[in-house]
Amino acid sequence: MTSPAPTLRAVGPARADAATPWGRLRREVGATLSKAAEVLATPLVPADYLDVFAPLRKGADLRARVVAVEPETADAATLVLRPGADWAGHVPGQYIRLGVDVDGVRQWRAYSLTHGPRADGLISVTVKAVADGVVSPYLVHRLRPGVLVHLEQASGEFVLPAPGTPKHPTKLLCVTAGSGITPVIGMLRNLYPSTDAGVVRTTRGTTYDITVVHLAPSAPDTIFARDLQALADAGVIRLVSRYDDVHGIFDVAQLAELVPDLAERSTLACGPGGLLDALAAHHESAGLPLSTEQFRPTTVVAGEGGTVAFSRTGAEVDADGAQSLLDAGESAGVLMPSGCRMGVCFGCVVPLRSGAVRDLRNGALTTAVPGETGPEGIPIQTCITAAAGACEIDV
């Protein structure tokens, strides 16, 4: 308890007391008690204080610190990150979910890791800025070294089969387009590390015979163009680059001509949905093995569209049958939970209270009828679901 106000304003002996050891002790004790009271009045827990001084410590929420932002092209950059102590590592080809705060809102996106395990413990992802995007332009053009980002453990099955397993093809064809090169470059860098002295031929790399067909709008727009060329110059891969402005739009029927031994190879492909659909049809008809990874769902059957009501916020928006509920909500200013935005992580799941929605990937219809559907609603993934008539979701 502090002294009454009149005592603090007193003259004579009180002022003299302030200069004595006893007076100084009183001031120090008072200041300490004041700070303690301020801390106690703040709704924090010990972990909050540790997060300030040791955010990457073991046991903390998984985060990473940005070490560098390295430009790749005019609209793409590699983010080099130092993950927290609980980072469990990854297999080349896997992806992570990255969380960043953009204009006060936490956003999550999925990005492929672009290398194998590193001796320095760092990890990296390469991001291509999407026109009118929320997160990717921020990461490419605004993110700076030193910033902390949120992180989830690596996941994904688009990886090379382990040597010695029954299904371990050694002759591979990698078909990539645009940023679809990112998981594949992670595999290649792990097999054939690049040093100041050039590309290194590792024992694990000698197991493989790899052809890479990479597609891009133009040479300047090609992510990892130098890396791919260095691998080709070292003779560890055969590279076939196809640019829309030079060769025209790629037709999968050209594969047999570009890759004469196509029938002997297992194909790994990553890129836009249209390309992967064409490859799937081509390889199925030819009886060829194919493994794919895509970053965005492909609309197969659109819903009829309708009014989407958001029960918690009271917002409503008219959405067409090709627009995901996630995009529709964000366009209406609703704070929507999300993650990978491709139907993999289930970070966007919310209850459907009433109405009908359609899966954009396969056309499957999901309905919720008040009085018949339970009060908890039916869980749906908003990133791959569209309105099929009027519907209400619990957001």
- Tell me the CATH number at 346: 3.10.20.30
Q: Are residue 181 and residue 264 in the same domain, yes or no? A: yes
What's the pLDDT tens digit per position in 142-171? 999 999 999 999 999 999 877 666 667 789
Q: Are residue 328 and residue 263 in the same domain, yes or no? A: no
- The pLDDT of residue 5 is 39
- The pLDDT of residue 36 is 47
Q: Are residue 248 and residue 283 in the same domain, yes or no? A: yes
- The pLDDT of residue 296 is 66
Q: Are residue 198 and residue 284 in the same domain, yes or no? A: yes
Q: How many CB atoms lie within 10 A of CB 382?
A: 26
- The pLDDT of residue 48 is 53
Share of the chain above pLDDT 90, in %: 64
Q: Cβ distance 178 to 275 under 8 Å? A: no
- Tell me the CATH number at 230: 3.40.50.80
Mean pLDDT over 272-292 rounds to 94
Band of the pLDDT at 278, cuts 50, 70, 90? very high
Mean pLDDT over 244-257 rounds to 95
Q: Are residue 279 and residue 329 in the same domain, yes or no? A: no
380 assigned to some structural domain: yes
5: enclosing H helix or E strand: helix 5-8
Residue 78's nearest CA partner among 219, 224, 188, 187 is 224
Number of domains in the chain: 4
160 assigned to some structural domain: no
Q: Are residue 194 and residue 287 in the same domain, yes or no? A: yes
Q: Which domain holds residue 128?
A: 63-151
List, in order, residues 6 or more apart from 231 with CB less than 8 Å away.
188, 192, 199, 212, 237, 239
- The pLDDT of residue 100 is 92
48 assigned to some structural domain: no
Mean pLDDT over each residue of the chain, to the nearest integer: 86
- The pLDDT of residue 7 is 36
355 forms bridges with which residues in the sheet?
Answer: 368, 391
362/185 Cα distance (integer angstroms): 30
Mean pLDDT over 15-27 rounds to 53
Nearest 5°: CA angle at 107, between 101 and 109?
Answer: 125
246 assigned to some structural domain: yes
Q: Are residue 103 and residue 176 in the same domain, yes or no? A: no
- The pLDDT of residue 18 is 46
What's the pLDDT tens digit per position in 234-250? 999 999 999 999 999 99
